[in-house]
């Protein structure tokens, strides 16, 4: 099988696997969306490759990104995560991931699941990403109203 065409050149296996298997493909389940929201929050100010290389560590540290489990994290867990060299150790980002788990559960309790809220802001027709859009801004505002934190508009509306 021929090597897939990529819009960049890299020899990094994690980056190639991400591009080949995930990039540009919709994520429609709650756990997957929660994971992406958290990872995007941790990525803020860093390269996506940094996050990809730490992704397995993030999954282990954040209970497989199970919102019900992460929502029960307390200050001891925050301290544990701050001491975990396998992830990005930033208190605000860690606390946002925990708050987002709680927000995800609150949405579910209100009958408006995370995946429904996120996908309600998709464009009517697919178009290549162009940074922040009005739909993305609206999605980010609605997610913030649901107490989710560190949600970039390019994630909320695409």
Our answer to whether residue 147 is catalytic in this structure is no
Cα–Cα distance between 102 and 44 in angstroms, integer? 21
Catalytic option among 18, 95, 119, 142: 18
Our answer to whether residue 15 is catalytic in this structure is no
Catalytic option among 40, 95, 119, 142: 40
Our answer to whether residue 48 is catalytic in this structure is yes
Could you say which DSSP state residue 2 is in? Answer: P
Reading phi first (left if > 0) and then psi (alpha if -120 to 50, else beta), residue 100 is in alpha
Query: Which residue from 62, 149, 134 is spatially nearest to 103, judged by alpha carbons?
Result: 149
Catalytic option among 22, 48, 68, 147: 48
- What burial letters (b/e) apply to 32-54, b meaning 16+ CB within 10 Å? ebbbebbbbbbbeeeeeeebbeb
Name the residues annotated as catalytic: 18, 40, 48
């Amino acid at each position: 099988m021929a090597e897939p065409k990529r819009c960049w050149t890299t020899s990094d296996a994690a980056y190639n696997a991400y591009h080949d298997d995930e990039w540009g493909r919709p994520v429609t389940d709650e756990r997957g969306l929660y994971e992406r929201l958290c990872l995007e929050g941790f990525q803020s100010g860093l390269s996506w490759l940094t996050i990809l290389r730490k992704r397995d560590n993030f999954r282990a540290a954040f209970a497989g990104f199970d919102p019900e489990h992460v929502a029960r994290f307390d200050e001891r867990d925050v301290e544990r995560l701050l001491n975990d060299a396998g992830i990005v150790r930033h208190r605000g980002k860690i606390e946002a991931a925990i708050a987002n788990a709680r927000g995800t559960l609150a949405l579910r309790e209100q009958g408006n699941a995370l995946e429904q809220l996120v996908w309600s802001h998709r464009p009517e027709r697919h178009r290549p990403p162009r940074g922040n859009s009005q739909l993305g801004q609206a999605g980010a505002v609605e997610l913030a109203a649901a107490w989710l934190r560190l949600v970039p508009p390019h994630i909320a509306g695409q």
